[in-house]
Amino acid sequence: MAVLSSMKSHQSSEIPEDRLSSLHDSVLCRILNRLPIEEAVRTCVLARRWRKTWTNITDLQFDDKKQRDHGDNRFVQLVQHVLHGVSSPHINSFCLESVNTCEESVLGPWLSTVLSRCLQRLAITWYEPESLDLSPFFGRFSSLVELRLRVNSILNIYGPVKLPNLRFFSLEDARIFNVSSASGQLCFCLPALETFEASYCHCFGTSSIVIDSPCLELFEMIECSFEQIPDGSGNCHIRVLAPNLAKIMFSGSLPQTVFLSFPLSLPDAYLSLGKWCWTPSFLEGFSCVKSLGLELSNDFGTAKVPKFRQLVYLHLIYDMVEHRNLMKFLDRSPKLEMLSIRDLESVNPIYHSSLFSIEPPDCVRTTIRVLQIRNFNASLQQLTVVKYFMEKAEILGPVILCTPKYTHVPEEIKARILNYPKASANVRVFFE
């Protein structure tokens, strides 16, 4: 008997201890939140202890990135099963990404469910839906800390937008209808917002937009349009009330429809300007910045460039066949210290402008210390710019020539560059 008892004791000691199942539900929930949603649900078959554990998850992320047949509704069934099974009164995040078609009748109930549970983070990326009317839900976003909508959507706004907890707001491919007032003014009161992004959106019936966000640091607007403007001027004025604003990124092709207003303390901006002729008043709004990125299309034009009195760093992307745009901005930047250039592919590759016939601006001779050429391929235009600055810039130091990946500058080209005349004894050429 003693021998049998000893054998049983030895066998029981060899059974591995299930330490995972012994963890507290809150710890298991944190583990399951980091698993793909399908795997988290499958843990219900592990043991009786796990049967309901997955229903405590609070981060719901659904990925539907494979094309499916129209009749295949497995993804829809998964989402509905999870939303029906989750028992937590609070849901931290609901993230949905799909490449398949979607019906509004499916998405609407899902949003109603998660928004009723103090949702903090909502992210929807749906590439092939019909237009989704999200207007009924917009007033229920008050609990959100993060909102990302990358979906063909409709938003009817009936009054000032007040989202007290929102810190990150990203909107893409939305049609926004201002039905709040006959004056055409649209107001956003976002006291906690830090990042605002709007891209490829169309705004209707709005002549003035006010974004009141004292914590805002980044404002980004990419290829947005404004239509059916009430006052008939064709212009929409956007006022950004954000004393802590650190950077603006703007890309557009219709300058006659947008006027931006923001604090004069703005230090950094990136502008991608294409087509038509940009008015001096638009660029004047950015004359306060210390760092400026400018991407100019081949048909960019402006009658006058404002004076950038504080500008220290300029990153200019332009057609290097045309030196006039470069000289326009150098002429108006008396404190410029670092110039970075990247060439656009020219629609007219014939080199027809002589840079050396242009009198160097004051900043070239007296303030520019660093020159950088990105995507350097030793073209005639690039070599001319390098030679010009090495010959004219009297306090120039590093000249940094950054080649595209897996390419190298031929040794004979390197030797030619190193032998260019130098106005400054501090010039050092780096090939990167």
CB 256 within 8 A of CB 235: yes
* Residues 274, 255: Cα–Cα separation, whole Å: 9
User: Can you give the residue ranges of every domain in the chain?
Assistant: 23-124, 131-262, 267-432
DSSP 8-state symbol, 130? P
Residue 398's H or E segment, with its range, is strand 398-401
Q: Which residue has the tokens 């940009």?
A: 278
Integer CA distances (angstroms), 324 to 41, 203, 375, 385, in order: 63, 35, 21, 12
In 15-121, which ranges are continuous DSSP H helix? 25-32, 37-42, 74-85, 104-115
Helix axes 411-418, 380-392, angle to 10 degrees: 30
Q: Which CATH architecture has domain 267-432?
A: Alpha-Beta Horseshoe (3.80)
Strands 313-318 and 338-343: parallel
Residues in contact with 221: Cβ distance below 8 Å, sequence separation at least 6, in sequence order: 197, 198, 199, 238, 249, 250, 251, 252
Structure tokens at 310: 């504080």
Q: Which residue has the tokens 């707001």?
A: 169
Q: Model pTM?
A: 0.82
Q: What is the pLDDT of residues 345-379, one digit of tens each?
A: 655 555 545 777 778 899 999 999 999 999 999 98
pLDDT by residue for the chain (432 residues), tens only, comes to 454 455 445 445 555 555 556 556 666 667 666 667 766 666 654 556 566 667 777 888 888 877 777 777 788 888 888 888 888 888 899 998 888 776 777 888 899 999 999 999 999 988 765 678 888 888 889 999 999 999 888 898 888 889 999 999 999 999 998 887 666 888 999 999 999 999 999 888 888 889 999 999 999 999 888 887 776 667 788 899 999 999 999 987 665 567 788 888 889 999 887 665 566 677 888 889 999 998 887 666 666 788 999 999 999 998 888 788 888 899 999 999 999 999 876 555 555 457 777 788 999 999 999 999 999 999 888 999 999 999 999 999 999 999 988 888 999 999 999 999 999 999 999 998
